Structure 1
Amino acid sequence: MSIEARRDVFQAIADPTRRQIISLIANKSMNLNSIADNFNISRPAISQHIKILTECGMVVVRQEGRERFCEAKLDGLSEVSNWVDQYKQFWNEKFDSLGSYLERIQADNQSNEEPNAD
């Protein structure tokens, strides 16, 4: 199996430059030069990021005359959202449990501090 066959949406968003590219083209398609103008890295480096995003299914590149336009395909982010949600549920349960524990401790401390009516 080639490396490209194993690329997924998590690899796409792992790099900050790729996340920024996705943000740039999320609402409008842009040509490669316009995208590259937003970065202080070489155009070939941007092309490599676009290639990875394409392999991950996050970007579609279409040819219009001599220009290549990149368009975001954000459907794959639902996989990331589902993965994050599962951990969000886990942590919410842990924080709820911690909150209950702290409330019990506080109630115990308050009952121990009350003066005896002897």
Structure 2
Amino acid sequence: MDFSSKIAINKGWSDDKKYCVTNQNQQKYFLRVSDKEKLDSKKFEFDMMEKVASLGVPMCKPISIELCDDEVHSLHEWIDGKDARETILTVSKEQQYTYGVEAGRILQKIHSLPVTEVREDW
């Protein structure tokens, strides 16, 4: 897929490079770029994300993963939003609690998936 724009995202916990990319139709996507040595673990992660998405979890749904030269590119749907760390204190304690309860429900769905392979980083 060719992109007309690529904006770096300097947030998150991984050492992956992350971008908001836009195609010629102005459709936005989330692109993760990893070292090719991580191909196996990134494929596992991508497969798990597909399973999580199938549960109806609100997330950037995985679209594709491929090896491009010396990098692993995984492409995901883009979701516009705000960083929770920057906005959580701007809502009431009651709303924060509601968000926490919803996060617990989402985690319960994620943890309902059977563990087929033990991986520390997952």
TM-score by length of 2: 0.30
User: Radius of gyration: which is bigger?
Assistant: 1
Highest relative contact order (Cα 8 Å, sep 6+), 1 or 2? 1
TM-score by length of 1: 0.31
Greater per-residue strand proportion? 2
Greater per-residue helix proportion? 1
